[in-house]
Amino acid sequence: MSQRPSDAAEPCGTSGDTDEGSCVEYSASITDYRRVPVSKSTQVSELKQLGVSAFSYCRESLAESRRNGIDLTSEIKTCQKYQVICVDPEHLRSKEWREISDSSIFRAHIFYAATDEVHLINTWGLEFRTDFGLIGLFVRGRLPSSISVVGLSATLAPGRATTAVCETLGLYGNAFHLIRRTNERPNVQFIMKVLGHGLSGYSFPDLLPFLQSGRKAVIFCPTIDMVFRVYVFIWRLQSRTADKLRRTRMYTSLCPAEYNQETLRLLNDDPYFQIVIATVAFSNGINATTLDDSITLSFPVTGDNAWQNGGRVGRKPGSIGRSVMLVQPSSIAAASKQIANPPSESSTGKKRTKGGRQRGAVASMDPLKARLLTEITCLNAVVNDHYANPPLDTSTVDCIAANRPLPCSLCLPQSGKTLIFAVPPDSPRFEPLALPAAPAPSTFPLPPPKKNKLTKKERKPAAAALIAYRDTLCEEQHLIGNFIEHPISLFLPSTFQTALLDKLITLESRTAFDIVIKDWRHRELHGTTLFNLVSKLRSDVHDERGTTRLARNAAQRQKRKDGQPRRSGTKRKAPSSEESEEEQSDSSESDSDSSMPAAVLTPPPTVTRKPRKRPALGTVTNAPKTKSVKAPAPSAAEVAKEYRPAYNFTI
């Protein structure tokens, strides 16, 4: 280290194969006695694997130290136990770190301060975690000026983004080294696909084509709520015998730190752990070498976040990965609108309500995000152009011209290649995730139309006729000595009576009748007589309905002749079940009266409106309205006297 400040743009995943001397590329803090990074505890475990004693100064480690009675402030400032301290930006403002940074021993041993994922200063430092914007103030104000200041990022675009970060860290002019390497991932295919379903429910079928392969995948969701809903969706697709808790896990800030640490450990150690569903907390500072696919539901807020999500996969040498963006059609429409009408830098970016008050800034879409959502040629070329990845003469052309081994989703159809993303040979075969089959159509019979059902008035005499037939049959059989031991109810059981009454209107053939009484024990000898009875009952019902229809039509014609129009606003009475069929069949008869002269309809009587309480053009005054004097309320004794019996005594 040349004791000179530096800012480096490194590709995602380069920290995975660094040596001990460059291990601070993992961090995001400030340097320890020799190095203090500001970052996650996962980097601490990797530093320990390299033989570097490191400590994560975060909420969980502080709580554990307090429970064990350990004075962390003394351990850190004496510089006798740890070589690297990783500290979250939120703790840099605490009194403990003011005491540590004032320690002469600590200041004498500190070598450099490194800030990993330095691009978060421009994003999280504005609203989400504003303490990221204070890293530069702490480094320049509380640490010795002789130390080296290092900033690391894989998604820091040249121009305004780099300038803003450098100024925050106190890097101006030519007083620092800017090392920029390409962040292109040649072993990761960039895929963008439009969602076919919404994201507000508990079904995400667009994920299944990428999860069916059995490759280890991380699913990025914009909210913790969506993380849970995706987890429930995958849970329901697995069989009852599957180990659901082992195959899928969540990674969010609401999960306990121990649970998240176990999730990261299982990613590398457990072959039966396939899917991790996470928020943006997983996209920075995580090095899981076994991940093969990165799937993002809804394009992130910025293009930098999208590229960071894709950087989680393909970290093992020789592996190939997929970075999938499942975007909403509304996002593409918004991006197209911004590309067509780019926001003016001179505009205030404020909208006003109807009352004239400012409602807030109009957030414009991130430029890289807008370009990727509207790109129709090559996604990789857009990313390389945005980050100025060298060499520009080949990096900014499409995948076919650049001869990239894994063309993006836009270039793949024209390349003629067929990409196969196989499961690693040492991975187990998972149970396929498939949507449940659509429910079979119901075999339950539909209820018959109303015209094929007997009304209560029609059913009562028909039921009485069947009972009379049963009694007659029983009496005849008993007289000739047959079935003497059988009670009367067995000669025509109630189940057969109900079935015959329910289908009486539709029993027009002997075949349909025999199906209903196929289990009746007297069908062979007495089926014909019962069928004749049923036919007579059905004929009687039709005749009765015809008579009712004719009478109703005659009454309607008489009303028209008498000039009695139907009052407006009244609904016509719905015909009964037996009348609906009759009206349809009697339409010709009703139409035959069209040749008769139409009766002259008398106009409805005029309704005299009540006069207005005050004329419309009357004089308007401000005088109070005269109130009517109310009669005094009777007393309780007077009211009781009215209900009390009266007695007249004559003496």
Position 644: which residue type?
R
**pLDDT the model gives residue 621:** 66
Domain boundaries 188-340+365-415, corresponding CATH code = 3.40.50.300
**pLDDT the model gives residue 1:** 41
Which residue stretches of the chain have pLDDT < 70?
A: 1-42, 345-363, 437-440, 442-448, 564-621, 646-651
Token pair 């419309």 is found at: 616
**pLDDT the model gives residue 649:** 61
Token couple for 610: 């009540």
- d(Cα 44, Cα 27) in Å, to the nearest integer? 8
DSSP structural state of residue 282: G
Token pair 């400590």 is found at: 55
**pLDDT the model gives residue 616:** 56
Instruction: Identify the helix (H) or strand (E) that includes residue 361.
Output: strand 358-361
Q: Cis (ω within 30 of 0) for the bond into 391?
A: yes
DSSP sequence for 90-135: GGGGSHHHHHHHH-HHHHHH--EEEESSTTHHHHTTTTT-GGGGGH
How many CB atoms lie under 10 A from the CB of residue 53?
12
Query: Is pTM, for the whole model, over 0.85?
Result: no
Token pair 């667009």 is found at: 206
Question: Burial of 51 by CB count in 10 Å (0-12 exposed, 13-18 middle, 19+ buried)?
Answer: exposed
How many CB atoms lie under 10 A from the CB of residue 532?
10
- In order of 47, 76, 154, the CA distances from 51 in angstroms are 7, 18, 25
Position 650: which residue type?
T
The model's pLDDT over 162-210, given as tens digits with 9 standing for 90+, comes to 988 888 888 888 888 888 899 999 999 999 999 999 999 999 999 999 9
Task: Report the candidate in 589, 594, 597 with the shortest Cα–Cα distance to residue 563.
Answer: 597
- d(Cα 391, Cα 384) in Å, to the nearest integer? 9
**Pairing mode, if any, of strands 293-297 and 321-327?**
parallel
Phi, psi (rounded to 5 degrees) for 273: -95, 110
How many CB atoms lie under 10 A from the CB of residue 173?
6
DSSP structural state of residue 26: G
- d(Cα 427, Cα 614) in Å, to the nearest integer? 90
Domain covering 6-180 assigned CATH 3.40.50.300 in the classification: yes
CATH 3.40.50.300 domain range(s) in the chain: 6-180, 188-340+365-415
Token couple for 55: 């400590």
CA angle 373, 377, 378 (to 5 degrees): 75
